[in-house]
Chain A
């Protein structure tokens, strides 16, 4: 038997013209997604990427898998519907921080409650890019980036904390200019059993002139002796950090450490896996407890008609309970 042809990164690229600004951090995330799919050798027709609205949401048009570019703030409920109707699909949701934490905040919170087995990636740059640089939910209070007429009046929300509080069972953060590391995170997020949330720091070179590639890279604070930059971003795994909840009694400690690390910002910005807990049953498992053959015969796979177009559903039992004679 001939082995399957090996899929290359190019097999996950479309011919669609990419209209992001030159130097956009989104390119690194797009590339990482394509590289991860190739690395995992996932069948493109069995992958659905579901996005919201904004620059980042255009990602799906550049990836050669099923691509569903939805509504502002709604990639999660769309993706949830896809995944639960056909759990055999590999589903990845993505969008910007305005999309997921502003207009879509309700879905961000409730997706944690559900713990559906999928990955959600936020392209986190602190601005609404496509509408010309307004402040978005992760931009901090008092920050004045060049696209704003005055300093930001709202406090920034911490996506890692919010996802932990909401019940996400895998929480990670990546950096769009560290592609190798990001590929590893995306892969872990996909492979996680349950709802995985990945926040990706992604400089917007056009509107966010503070949280730039140079800033993350520490170009502004060079080592005194050798003149080398002191990057702000550092990897959790390099510090011996273990994000995994191995048993119920570790829950408080692992959650607390994730919250503590998740607070770091400024001179030290951790990336990596903050939290991973596979002890929580997935939504699919919760349904299966009620509908034993759910995974074997999910909604999308059920035969609803016979060859003559007659419904296969048999209502006799229900009609009998309503009958009066």
Chain B
């Protein structure tokens, strides 16, 4: 070995045409790394396309917890020409590229899915180095920088596997190239193959035969490269778990789990990227285990879990039906939600207004993606904050909560229902594409931290002196809530302004009382919601520069701030969790003394920056924004913050990294 080994500091990419199994290979890689005790964070990028366009998965594996992706790339695993063309230039000088030796002669023009802009860019790059336009030329330019090239004979490996398993057509097992790429990666990283074998068996749990064929086949690629590339410095080594039980999951799974644990029993949706993943995951697991008290109530520990619960997942004709069906279900007492992305949320406005005026507990999980209009359906953005705040006509109270990471997403998924019922209002849970589609390792959630609060709910009849009134005026604004089908609490709902019983009114006095009653519930929420659900503060409270952000930029910011701290640059970081009712005092307190306030958002219009100014009168001094559809990396965030720390930054920096 010529250099010092760089152990457990890896950024890896596998890519390929959509439909070729890139996701499962990335999952196998991530699970194999994770089951060795490594911390993993994965980012998924794909086109709005079924088959043929380029998709890739970037996975980081480290010995310490990581929360973001980086721009550097230590190992690029490819089995098609396009992935190598797109990503080779981003491989670090001492990195490596695994590629199909048979594809080296592929010309840039032979890859129709590379956009003209990128093609021209690559041509300029190759011309400047006196090279031609084949993959071989681009690989040579990488090798000239010191990058290790790892050719793999994919076709001959496939033929061997086909022969050994008596498979008559190579096309039947062509997807196995994915696993060759993963195995070769572990080969040059010197990682234990048994951990990959275990991951394969996990991922192909329901297809044992396929799993074993992959285990045996991928081993060939592993053996082919193992020990042959000693100059390549990166290594992965299992480190164990130190007693921690850990899971690997996507953000969409974390949110779905949180909602189900929180008691959601109806979820409606219309198919839309990137929100559908959550509904499909819940539907695939719609029968729910429920703890039932043991026969002897003194022995609570002996509660047994039985398959008696279920979540009704309804795919509807459109998002209007999705939101109204969820509201209908909520009126019966079932915790109900719908789940969508920007274009679908557009259709939900009338439902939000109706739920608002009728004080129905409704949860909407809003997965933001790049807009406006269809925008970039599979790409990331935090462009719907203003929309969520103002969606609908008239003033309709709502709570808006934004999750920053997997763990928050899980707990917020459950919490949203508590707030929806306690304040009898719509709760919009703001998440996004980056969070939904990323995966990562995390300590297994502790369900004991979750509590269920159903607010003022009447379940066993009305015992009040006066006849029941659904919208009775109260000091808090919250009226005891009855459910359809219960005796003694008959009520009416209407989208019209209404009296306390729920009948239509246009009386000017009642109108004011009702508007004010509904709004008081938000005042109550603002008083009751805990500080940590409103904001989080990280880093140095006395720092002169405070970064403020919200949502899934959290991971990249925390990693960037850690990196800068090692360089002696101290920063504070205010993460805003509750966007409405806005935590005016906490935000003011955190920002008032800062000399520089850096607003970081994954959108064009600096929504939160504007909201902070509107609510507190404090204006950010700097903005770091990004809107090219690719989430912020900790690398580019650190660089932008470094420029600000040096006092040389313009008021607005736009981040542009992205493949």
Contact = CB atoms under 8 A, between A and B. Distances in A.
A304 B324 CA distance: 23
B245 A314 contact: no
Contacts of A247: none
A312 B332 contact: no
Contacts of A268: none
B320 interface: yes
B329 interface: yes
B34 A89 contact: no
Contact of A305 (B288, B314, B333, B452): B452
A64 B263 CA distance: 32
Interface string B302-341: 0001001111101011101110111111111111100000
Given A70-B495, A310-B450, A318-B285, 20 more contacts: A66-B485, A68-B328, A71-B351, A74-B350, A77-B321, A81-B324, A85-B329, A86-B333, A86-B484, A110-B321, A293-B308, A300-B332, A305-B451, A311-B263, A311-B450, A311-B452, A313-B261, A315-B260, A323-B444, A324-B441
Interface string A89-123: 10000000000000000110110000000000000
B140 interface: no
Interface string A282-325: 00000100110110011110111110011111111111001111
A7 interface: no
Given A81-B329, A85-B312, A305-B263, A310 B452 contact: yes
B305 A309 contact: no
Interface of B: 31, 34-35, 37, 241, 245-249, 253, 257, 260-263, 265-266, 268, 285-293, 305, 308-312, 314, 316-318, 320-322, 324-336, 350-351, 354, 414, 441, 444-445, 447-448, 450-454, 483-496, 502-504
A154 interface: no
A208 interface: no
Contacts of B263: 302, 304-305, 311, 313
A69 B490 contact: no
Contact of B312 (A293, A299, A314, A319): A299
Q: Which of A61, A76, A316, A322 has the most CB of B within 10 A?
A: A322
Contact of A81 (B291, B326, B445, B491): B326
B247 A81 contact: no
A55 interface: no
Contacts of B332: 82, 85-86, 89, 299-300
18 contacts: A44-B490, A48-B484, A69-B494, A70-B324, A70-B495, A71-B495, A77-B320, A78-B327, A88-B485, A287-B312, A294-B312, A302-B334, A304-B262, A311-B447, A314-B288, A314-B305, A324-B34, A324-B246
Contacts of B37: 325
A316 B288 CA distance: 10
A72 B493 CA distance: 14
A86 B484 CA distance: 9
Nearest to B288: A313
Contact of B451 (A71, A287, A310): A310
A86 B309 CA distance: 14
Nearest to A69: B494
Given A45-B490, A291-B287, A315-B257, A74 B324 contact: yes
A312 B288 CA distance: 10
Given A77-B324, A304-B335, A324 B503 contact: no
Contacts of A78: 324-325, 327-328
B451 A309 contact: yes
Contact of A45 (B241, B318, B485): B485
A18 B563 CA distance: 70
Given A84-B266, A315-B261, A50 B328 contact: yes
